[in-house]
Structure 1
Amino acid sequence: MNQRPKLRSPPPSSAASSPSPPTSPNLNRDKAKTIIKMPRKSYIKPTLVLASLLTIFALYTFLFYTPPNYNNNSSNLLNLVNKFDTNNSNVNKVKIYMYDLPRRFTYGVIESYAAARGGGQVEKDALLKYPGNQHSAEWYLFSDLNRPSESRINSAVTRVMDPEDADLLYVPFFSSLSLVVNPIRSANANGPADRPTYNDEQMQEALMEWLEEQVYWKRNNGWDHVFICQDPNALYKVIDRVKNGVLLVSDFGRLGRNQASLVKDVILPYSHRINTYNGDIGVENRKSLLFFMGNRYRKEGGKIRDLLFQVLEKEMDVIIKHGTQSRESRRAATQGMHTSKFCLHPAGDTPSACRLFDAIVSLCIPVIVSDYIELPFEDVINYKNIAVFMDTTTAVKPGYLVKSLRRVSTERILELQKELKKVKRYFEYEDPNGTVKEIWRQVSSKLPLIKLMTNRDGLIRLQNSPQSCYKISLYIENLDYQEPATTYFGEKPRPAKLACTIISMS
């Protein structure tokens, strides 16, 4: 180890090395006198100048300084951010391309719906009106992407017109409306012979035939495609052919585990069917304890409704009515939900139903009776803060549900109503900061997973290319196995030659 170097004194100067001339004692005394008589340097003058300047500055500050207006500053900063975002609208946004589908899959479905009910032809697509129903999310998303980009400020996605630039590709087929184009008729009713016929299954097949010819569908095996199928039966015939994509659904009630999951898909709220409650929180005008109005008899998971009718219809302060979709029923439901503290939400044919969202916009605390349910936007909404949950076995015990609700204090009811008021915008499709904006945020959050799956799928296809298969077969031939060689893909063992098949990762 090197030792720390010693500090050395600077070499003496040449003047110091030469001998000093002798000094006269008298000269030294004279010099000392001179030094003693030299006046001291004065610091009083600069100190006074500095003090004067500080005094003037303090006086100016006291008389003329105005404290900053932080509200204006925040507003100015927000305006600056918005301006920057407007000028750079594509920065950090997911780019989405909407397919220009043949007309029969979009406006043509609306036209067929109207024609099946006696409606006439219209000259322009802009004059077609999407029929209001609980599955109208497909119309709101389609309309939103058709709006000018400058009117979609702060959206998580931006529309691009070139699919080469897109992160995601949206397929705007009105699949839920397509299911109900033909009106429900009684078995003995005979419709007019001149009414046009419509076949939803043929439309689904035609959509897939068109889509499978698109180069961008083949490019990533459908992983980067987005489909809306909000009705539980929408796209049911081709669901296995689109399951790689992001599915926009209301719940997973009729979808298998290999078809849908919370990891890759998005849960949508139904469009509420009753008017929004615009009043403030409170219990004074909510005289009823519990309200429900809907079809008493449902299929599958909805059979719980009949049992709930039996245990609740004779309870005091409980309104439970059988009703079907009609204008009069909606008026009665609006009145009932706006004047009740709690609104019952049992399952429909599938775990979810539009009644939940009717209750939320009514500030009527939902009582969700279900053993399993997927709810919209669970990453931003804590449903325990806005709803009461109860399993089906407990809910049908005579008297138990009503007694539990009566024990909820007024303070707790007000807390729940306050939270409902905060989140109800997430269930308003027509609110610029509401449902549509949140759906696109949810869709955009799937992009990292989509990139992972497309890259992995591409890797598997590369490994299963003819060149890779040839190498695998040579390797197997060089092995002296008595039994056929096997390889594992996380499932059952398969013959090694099957390694050359493309594996769909669902």
Structure 2
Amino acid sequence: MNRSFRVYVYPHRRNDPFANVLLPVDFEPRGNYASESYFKKAFMKSHFVTKDPSKADLFFLPFSIARMRHDRRIGTEGIPDFISHYIFNISQKYPYWNRTGGADHFYVACHSIGRSAMQKAWEVKLNAIQVVCSSSYFISGHIAHKDVSLPQIWPRQEDPPKLGSSKRNKLAFFAGAVNSPVREKLLQVWRNDSEIYAHSGRLKTPYADELLGSKFCLHVKGFEVNTARIADSLYYGCVPVIIANHYDLPFADVLNWKSFSIVVATLDIPLLKKILKGISSEEYLLLQSYVLKVRKHFQWHVFPSDYDAFYMVMYELWLRRSSVRVQWSTSLDSNW
């Protein structure tokens, strides 16, 4: 992949009226949805970019859902129109979209608004590769193995802590807003338990301490199937427990999730303690050992590092490149 994979990015001038939407951000990404900006910043400086479209395996649509959301000229309601106009413009100016109907194109989005962003550009949703955090088998328009599940990762600059399991006194931990029936059920059953710490609202203790002090950390579906909790769990060496039906898990084409996580169906929330206590000490230590091995795949770096989140996304895209290169003549290309 490193030697041969190349991607063409549709060019835009720095004085473009919407350069803020189309070019990488010039500040350090922050917040729950930073993955989109981290990928874009790393990618645009990488050796994967080619200025020669004839050498491209894929084509990148560089618009930013997160940036459009905060641009008063566009806003949440205007995103579908912006994308529709963008696709129309590149299809008129360049030949590449029309050759495949966008099947060799991709875009990246982490915010849940990305789900509705293609309402007026269905060819993007159906044909292009969607690299998205909101990756659920249950969502209309998400096509597993065509689309890529982007991990939602809270930005951290420091290296992960070196960990052991001896001080993990809590069986399981969850804290977060109660914004879904699944979380309501979790709190209803386990709110007052002495071994499963399920909390809503603001914590009285540091979030990191709770993750460091728990054997299992619960990733519970909220408004979407995705949250930053899986990456948080891995970072602090806590075995993630995924309670989110239909979640197309990040890097599932590459990683064996059964080796470092537990998946619990939402209907089995009342059985959660029985399931977790049924895991022996030996089985837990094996799970945690793989947590420590895979957590490097769930980190962004200012300068990408081998096998980090950036390279994992690129590998997922490389797996989806077309096996048939579309050829076109020089005369055809010059007519555009």
- TM-score exceeds 0.5: yes
- Per the TM alignment, residue 269 of structure 1 is displaced from its structure 2 partner at its CA by 0.7
- Per the TM alignment, residue 309 of structure 1 is displaced from its structure 2 partner at its CA by 0.2
Aligned: 1:260 with 2:171 = no
1:26-45 equivalences under 5 Å are none
- Identity percentage over the alignment? 22
CA separation in 2, counterparts of 1:421 and 1:163? 40
Secondary structure of 1:233 counterpart = helix
Instruction: Give the one of 123, 135, 160 matched to 1:241.
Output: 123
Aligned-pair Cα RMSD in Å? 3.0
Aligned residues: 315
- The one-letter amino acid of 2:220's match is P
- Per the TM alignment, residue 352 of structure 1 is displaced from its structure 2 partner at its CA by 2.3
Map of 2:20 onto structure 1: 108
Aligned: 1:231 with 2:142 = no
1:150-299 equivalences under 5 Å are 158-179=48-69, 181=70, 197-199=73-75, 200-201=78-79, 202-213=81-92, 214-234=94-114, 235-242=117-124, 243-250=126-133, 251-252=135-136, 255-256=139-140, 259-272=141-154, 277-282=160-165, 284-296=166-178, 298=179
Once the two structures are superposed, residues 154-203 of structure 1 have per-residue CA deviations (whole angstroms, 9 ceiling, x without a partner) of xxxx3211222212111111113423x16xxxxxxxxxxxxx55434243
- Per the TM alignment, residue 140 of structure 1 is displaced from its structure 2 partner at its CA by 2.3
Maintained 8 Å contact 1:106/1:174: no
- Per the TM alignment, residue 331 of structure 1 is displaced from its structure 2 partner at its CA by 7.8
The change in CA–CA distance for 1:394 and 1:277 in structure 2 (over 3 A counts) is same
CA separation in 2, counterparts of 1:249 and 1:332? 29
The change in CA–CA distance for 1:289 and 1:102 in structure 2 (over 3 A counts) is same
Maintained 8 Å contact 1:223/1:245: yes
TM superposition score normalised by structure 2: 0.83
Maintained 8 Å contact 1:171/1:226: yes
CA separation in 2, counterparts of 1:377 and 1:317? 31
CA separation in 2, counterparts of 1:221 and 1:342? 44
Map of 2:219 onto structure 1: 345
Map of 1:336 onto structure 2: 210
Which 5+ residue runs of structure 2 have no aligned equivalent?
A: 329-336
Map of 1:406 onto structure 2: 277
Maintained 8 Å contact 2:186/2:198: no
- The one-letter amino acid of 1:264's match is K
CA separation in 2, counterparts of 1:126 and 1:330? 37
Maintained 8 Å contact 1:291/1:336: yes
Map of 2:286 onto structure 1: 415
Maintained 8 Å contact 1:361/1:424: yes
Greater helix share, structure number:
1
CA separation in 2, counterparts of 1:169 and 1:99? 8
Secondary structure of 1:379 counterpart = coil
CA separation in 2, counterparts of 1:330 and 1:448? 51
Larger Rg: 1
Which 5+ residue runs of structure 1 have no aligned equivalent?
A: 1-84, 111-124, 150-157, 183-195, 459-506
Instruction: Give the one of 122, 141, 147 matched to 2:39.
Output: 141
Map of 2:239 onto structure 1: 365
Work out which structure has the larger RCO, using CA pairs closer than 8 Å and 6 or more positions apart in sequence: 2
Secondary structure of 2:241 counterpart = strand
The change in CA–CA distance for 1:419 and 1:178 in structure 2 (over 3 A counts) is same
The change in CA–CA distance for 1:387 and 1:172 in structure 2 (over 3 A counts) is same
Map of 2:331 onto structure 1: none
CA separation in 1, counterparts of 2:61 and 2:205? 35
